[in-house]
Amino acid sequence: MNSSINAPLTIDTIIVGAGVTGLSAGYHLTKQSKRLIILEAAARVGGAVGSITEQGWLRELGPNSLMQTPALADLLSQLDLGTETIEANPVAKKRFISKNEHPVALPGNPLALFTSPLFSLGDLWHLAREPWIKPASFEETIAQFVRRRLGQGFLDWAVDPFVSGIYAGDPDRLSVQAAIPKIYATECESGSLIRAGIARMQAAKANPAPITQPAKGKLFSFKNGLQTLTDALAAAITSSGNGEIHLQTPCSSLVSNTDGGWTIHTAQGKTYTATNLILTVPAAVAAGLLEPTDPTLAEQLNRIEYPPVASVVMGFSRVQVAHPLDGFGLLIPSKEHKQTLGVLFSSTLFADRTPPGKVMLTAFIGGRQKPEAALGTDDEILQRVLNDLSPPLGIKGPPEFLRIQSWPRAIPQYELGYLALLEKIETQAAHWQGLYLAGNWRDGIAVGDCLINGQKLAEQLAKKPS
Ligand SMILES: Cc1cc2nc3c(=O)[nH]c(=O)nc-3n(C[C@H](O)[C@H](O)[C@H](O)COP(=O)(O)OP(=O)(O)OC[C@H]3O[C@@H](n4cnc5c(N)ncnc54)[C@H](O)[C@@H]3O)c2cc1C
């Protein structure tokens, strides 16, 4: 990937970090003929996105699937990846929640709520009152918001496990405005989540999307895993003739030049200079790099929490797992007092990723509420996961294939006061000409959000007079 282009580069921009955000910004900037270099500490591009095939098992290191959107469909067609995509198995619509160590399917429609063992009559009564509940006048946590609008039962058995599944977070700390802004906006605009949901369903029935439009909301991946996307972005950057990606080249320090622009030093002793510097590294890494230049900015960035998570890929013979694995996976609510956050039925989600007669499960353990569970030896982590998953899934014996990927800083937590903190960071960073801070710690943690944020940043820079 250390491609070089013949003429010496007059660099507009240096991007630090070749995760989804850095690659997206780089791809859209090189399309605008901006010349850039991306410095990446690791030996591969992709950051949290990585796919590895070994002994017939195709596993993901971080994210396992993407949600289709028109913007993503457009990017895939630009990158010529249309024929590489695979849709998730339709049974993945079914999601299980563990209750008293039993997997219970989440109700698939409003009527099924009445017979679901997840919710009591009291829970349904609280839900029925939702359209008349007034918005709050202060910033709430997700737990406060859900308790107020939907009741404790829905918090415990529906929202809490989803918050664990997406953020590995704590609903008692995450800010509803920052972490689930669309739901917060629905309350502000419609006054009721239920009324807005009904209106959306009626509108979709009255105006069905044309069949030529990409299937919005569908989960998908690529035949060779999600890394196909980040590899394709990297290939497009280097083949444009305007961009280079330097792997195993960690940025070790940076200096703001008195005549404008930035000088970047790498751990190998190389020096780069450019007008614009985009940092797409985790907030704590950006803080370390910016500390000598701006200790206030560094202190603000350091306030962002990143709990550890371990991703545990386990391969079993089909007969070792009693559960039919007929769904997306199983989420484990905090009420169950387990250490594992949830498990994906990976071999159900996408076919042909295991040797014949085998199944693959990907469990996630640790997170904001139980960070210590992600730490320890592989044996210790596996034991915790098997203790938690064997009762609900009927797992017998150890996995025959095991790979544990540790993420010491897995997912930034958008906690109470987050939007105010981001505003302070924005104001402080604006003191530095040519400095841009991006990454999954702002404007969404999903891969799709990072792609859009990288693109928006590139559009902003392209408008800047050079
Ligand atoms: C376990 C897990 C599961 C997830 N599941 C999903 C999912 O199912 N769906 C979904 O949409 N999202 C999911 N996400 C979130 C999503 O993958 C991330 O938010 C997104 O990929 C982050 O991209 P990024 O470019 O902002 O950051 P990163 O991917 O963290 O990239 C930052 C890059 O900076 C590099 N770097 C660090 N320090 C330096 C330095 N000093 N110099 C140079 N380079 C440096 C790193 O090596 C890395 O490549 C998951 C994340 C994790 C960890």
How many angstroms does the Cα of residue 49 sit away from the middle of ligand 1? 6
pLDDT of residue 216: 61
pLDDT over threshold 50, residue 177: yes
How many angstroms does the Cα of residue 250 sit away from the middle of ligand 1? 15
pLDDT over threshold 70, residue 210: no
Residues 50 and 61 sit within 8 Å (Cβ to Cβ):
yes
How many angstroms does the Cα of residue 358 sit away from the middle of ligand 1? 29
Beta pairing, strands 36-39 & 13-16: parallel
Q: Which residue of 163, 248, 251, 281 sits with most ligand 1 atoms within 8 Å of its CB, as the best mutation to test the pocket?
A: 281
Q: Which residue of 15, 248, 346, 411 sits with most ligand 1 atoms within 8 Å of its CB, as the best mutation to test the pocket?
A: 411
What are the angstrom distances between the C-alpha of 82 and each of 25, 220, 221, 235, 269? 21, 11, 11, 16, 41
Written as one string, the DSSP assignment of 318-379 is GGGB-S---SSEEE--GGG--SEEEEE-HHHHSSS-SSTTEEEEEEEEE-SS-GGGG-S-HH
pLDDT of residue 211: 47
Express as a percent the part of the chain with pLDDT over 70.
Answer: 96
**299-310 pLDDT, tens per residue?**
999 999 999 999
**51-82 pLDDT, tens per residue?**
999 999 999 999 999 999 999 999 999 999 98
Which residue's CA is the closest to the ligand 1 atom numbered 14? 63
Domains of the chain: 13-50+226-305+415-462 (3.50.50.60), 59-69+76-107+218-225+307-410 (3.90.660.20), 119-206 (1.10.3110.10)
Nearest to 331 by CA among 107, 63, 105, 116: 105
How many angstroms does the Cα of residue 166 sit away from the middle of ligand 1? 14
Ligand 1 contacts (CB < 6 A) are 16-22, 39-42, 47-49, 62-65, 250-251, 280-282, 285, 309, 311, 407, 410-411, 439-440, 445-448, 450
pLDDT of residue 10: 55
Q: Supply the pTM of this predicted model.
A: 0.94
Residues 248 and 270 sit within 8 Å (Cβ to Cβ):
no
**334-387 pLDDT, tens per residue?**
999 999 999 999 999 999 999 999 999 999 999 999 999 999 999 999 999 999
**89-135 pLDDT, tens per residue?**
999 999 999 999 999 999 988 889 999 999 999 999 999 999 999 98
Average pLDDT over residues 251-259: 93
